Structure 1
Amino acid sequence: MRHDASTVVGAVMVDRRNGKVGVVMGHVGPYVQLRPPRGGREWDVPPEDVRAPTPAEELSAKVAVANRRWGR
């Protein structure tokens, strides 16, 4: 299965169904697997329900990742 370039591992994406921001961890079957930026359990999202984040959503996710690294 071919995946959109925006759903490459490490990309920040948003689940359209619930508005949750996640980092692409991989692909299982037809699904994109997202994980919360601060870590936690992955969830599966159909590719048609994944969208690119707004600049504010992406910045917020990157800050969460940085804070996790620094133990905040």
Structure 2
Amino acid sequence: MSMDNRVKKMNRYIKASYFHIASAKAHCDNFDKWIRRRLRMCLWKQWKRVKTRFHALGCTLMGCL
């Protein structure tokens, strides 16, 4: 599944359930952390080679060279 499809699918879920969880700020913060962690995990798994991971992390941390 591509990252764009993954984000669109999660957005549908978030918008549908937003009013159920809007009253609990701590729950929203935890949910946000979980979503970001899962997206990072998906990106990490897409970068299969060590060289790709090293280059991609270098681009995110220092700006692409």
Mark yes or no: TM-score above 0.5.
Answer: no
Bigger proportion of residues as helix: 2
